[in-house]
């Protein structure tokens, strides 16, 4: 059963139709974020002649694809009412891990990829377990993880030459097509998980009202661990893509990626308070950010002003979310 209140949909367990109803609602709402993307693109298209080519458009999608994959996991965590500030550091750890497995241990790259995915998933699970066991707020737990995992990445990668990987591995992130296809696949899997599985429906229920979800029979603690595992897995996937694209791994990668992921999710309309969100709009939110960054670069605007612009958009998006939640 779905309850509608102030344009919010909260999934209640045992509903057989809630997945389709949530999906239909998301398709009804997605046009708003898509319209914003088209308007922003049109503005830069008019202002910058260099912006008016297909290569620029493909570049926006391919550059945003890696962070969009990362943001898929962040979408699940935020919908469930959680928060993960450590995904950028998990990203760094996994990048080093896949590099070490291929270069130092000479593993075949498919096995190295599986090992790296397992590492990211385990680090995400660790976040969830610590939060569930200690009852410490997610902000504090994952803030600690941000620092600790970053140190772990530095230890694992210290003094190692993690570059020049096999051609088969490089193909994963090379060019335009592969990253975009992987991004689409990640978005489809996340959307199906959220709308067509019991655990995915429970994310909306827990984020909407944790106590009601618990009274309805949802195993909240166990579910939260799963959501953080999913966040870690997608962070790992994004890290593997970037290492493949750049053809080297570095512990310094992933800095501030958690902020870009959260920003894309919020710009896409997912509530920071949980209970509402859509992975489709998250992808569009990431493309909005990437379009602004690339467009401002073409206009000669410095990195500092680009960050100011993105920060302002994040604040406005959160304000809009708060305003919508206020009773009328």
CATH number, domain at 298? 1.10.3470
- Distance from chain centroid for Cα 299: 28
Burial 242-261 (b: 16+ CB within 10 A, else e): bbbbeebbbbebbeebbbbb
How far is 125 from 179, CA to CA, in rounded Å? Answer: 26
Hey, is 126 helix, strand or coil? helix
Residue 239 lies in a domain: yes
Hey, is 79 helix, strand or coil? helix
How many alpha carbons lie under 13 Å from residue 291 in its C-beta half-sphere?
21
∠ CA(146), CA(104), CA(236), 5° rounding? 35
How far is 303 from 323, CA to CA, in rounded Å? Answer: 30
pLDDT of res. 273:
85
Residue 273 lies in a domain: yes
Question: pTM (2 decimals)?
Answer: 0.88
Q: 76, 228 in Cβ contact below 8 A?
A: no
Residue 43 lies in a domain: no
Count of the separate structural domains present in the chain: 1
Quote the domain boundaries for residue 262. Answer: 60-325
pLDDT of res. 28:
61
Q: Which of 93, 95, 90 is nearest to 142 (CA)?
A: 90
Residue 10 lies in a domain: no
Q: 9, 21 in Cβ contact below 8 A?
A: yes
Which H helix or E strand runs over 45? helix 18-47
Residue 224 lies in a domain: yes
pLDDT along the chain (328 residues), means of 10: 38 46 62 87 91 87 92 97 96 96 93 97 97 95 96 92 90 88 95 95 95 94 97 97 93 89 89 87 92 91 84 81 70
Phi and psi at 206, nearest 5°, equal -65, -45
Q: Which of 244, 274, 242 is nearest to 257 (CA)?
A: 242
Residue 44 lies in a domain: no
Residue 13 lies in a domain: no
Residue 89 lies in a domain: yes
pLDDT of res. 23:
58
Provide the sign of the torsion angle of the four alpha carbons 176, 179, 180, 181, taken in this order.
positive
């Amino acid at each position: 059963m779905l309850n509608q209140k102030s344009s919010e949909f909260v999934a209640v367990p045992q509903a057989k139709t809630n997945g389709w109803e949530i999906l239909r609602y998301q398709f009804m709402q997605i046009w708003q974020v898509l319209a914003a993307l088209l308007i922003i693109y049109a503005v830069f298209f008019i202002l910058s002649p260099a912006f008016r080519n297909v290569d620029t458009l493909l570049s926006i999608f391919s550059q945003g694809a890696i962070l969009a994959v990362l943001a898929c996991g962040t979408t699940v965590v935020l919908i469930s009412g959680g928060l993960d500030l450590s995904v950028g550091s998990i990203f760094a750890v996994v990048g080093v891990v896949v590099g070490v497995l291929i270069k130092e241990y000479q593993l075949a790259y498919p096995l190295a990829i599986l090992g790296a995915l397992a590492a990211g998933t385990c680090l995400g699970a660790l976040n969830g377990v610590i939060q569930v066991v200690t009852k410490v707020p997610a902000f504090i737990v994952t803030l600690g993880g941000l620092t600790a995992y970053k140190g772990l990445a530095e230890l694992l990668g210290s003094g190692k030459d993690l570059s020049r990987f096999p051609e088969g591995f490089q193909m994963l992130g090379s060019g335009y097509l592969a990253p975009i296809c992987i991004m689409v696949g990640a978005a489809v899997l996340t959307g199906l998980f959220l709308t067509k599985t019991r655990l995915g429906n429970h994310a909306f229920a827990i984020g909407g009202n944790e106590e009601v979800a618990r009274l309805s029979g949802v195993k909240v603690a166990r579910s939260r661990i799963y959501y953080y595992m999913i966040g870690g897995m997608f962070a790992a996937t994004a890290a593997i893509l970037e290492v493949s694209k750049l053809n080297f791994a570095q512990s310094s990668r992933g800095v501030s990626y958690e902020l870009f992921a959260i920003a894309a999710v919020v710009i896409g309309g997912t509530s920071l308070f949980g209970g509402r969100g859509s992975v489709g709009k998250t992808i569009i939110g990431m493309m909005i950010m990437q379009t602004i960054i690339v467009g401002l670069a073409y206009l000669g605007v410095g990195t500092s002003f680009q960050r100011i612009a993105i920060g302002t958009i994040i604040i406005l998006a959160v304000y809009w979310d708060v305003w919508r939640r206020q009773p009328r």
